[in-house]
Amino acid sequence: MPTDPLRCAGALIVDDDGRIFFQRRSPQRKLFPDTWDIVGGHLEPGEGIEDALSREVTEETGWTVSVVLGLVGEYTWTGNDGFTRLESDFLVRVDGDLTRPRLEVGKHTEFRWLNEHEMEVLDEHRHVNDGMIRRIAEDAFAALHAIGL
């Protein structure tokens, strides 16, 4: 088991209405099954954080990162696999048809665009991720306000 945390990059994708994109993980996923999540994943060997961010957005949605608006935060967590991860999450804008993401087959089952008054949906199955996604979403909306969006 590695002693250093695994690195992850996460994207909180923002639309023109100030909403953030979330997708539901499939029930078969090993980590956080059937929970709402942001776009993101593990860095590949030798990959930088911004490259991983762009790759994950394209893999999970079919969209392309156009602008990184800023860092939301860094979060350390341990999955039910026993591995500790250090996750860096960013507010981003993307290019593509925002009404038609191309969700990864077998990994995600649905998507939603949420504003800050609709976040209670993120509490579904919060026992699985200890409410982490809700906390990240709250931090993201605070960051949006801080930059005037």
pLDDT per residue as tens digits for the range 76-97: 998 888 889 999 999 999 999 9
Identify whether 136 is part of a domain: yes
Q: Which residues form the domain of 55?
A: 6-146
- Write the CA distances from 130 to 37, 109, 112, integer angstroms: 13, 21, 20
Residue 51's domain is classified under what CATH number?
3.90.79.10
pLDDT in tens, 20-35: 999 999 999 988 899 9
What pLDDT score does 3 carry? 62
Q: Give the mean pLDDT of 118-146.
A: 91
Identify whether 73 is part of a domain: yes
Counting runs of H as helices and runs of E as strands, what totals does the chain give?
3, 7
Q: Which of 30-34, 49-53, 112-116 has the lowest mean pLDDT?
A: 30-34
Q: Which of 122, 94, 74, 107 is nearest to 14 (CA)?
A: 94
Q: Which of 25-29, 36-40, 129-133 has the lowest mean pLDDT?
A: 129-133
Total number of domains constituting the chain = 1
- Write the CA distances from 107 to 31, 39, 85, 143, 149, integer angstroms: 11, 11, 20, 28, 31
- % of the chain residues with pLDDT over 90: 83
- Residue predicted with more confidence, 148 or 51: 51
Identify whether 1 is part of a domain: no
Identify whether 79 is part of a domain: yes
Identify whether 123 is part of a domain: yes
Q: Cα separation of 132 and 104, whole Å? A: 22
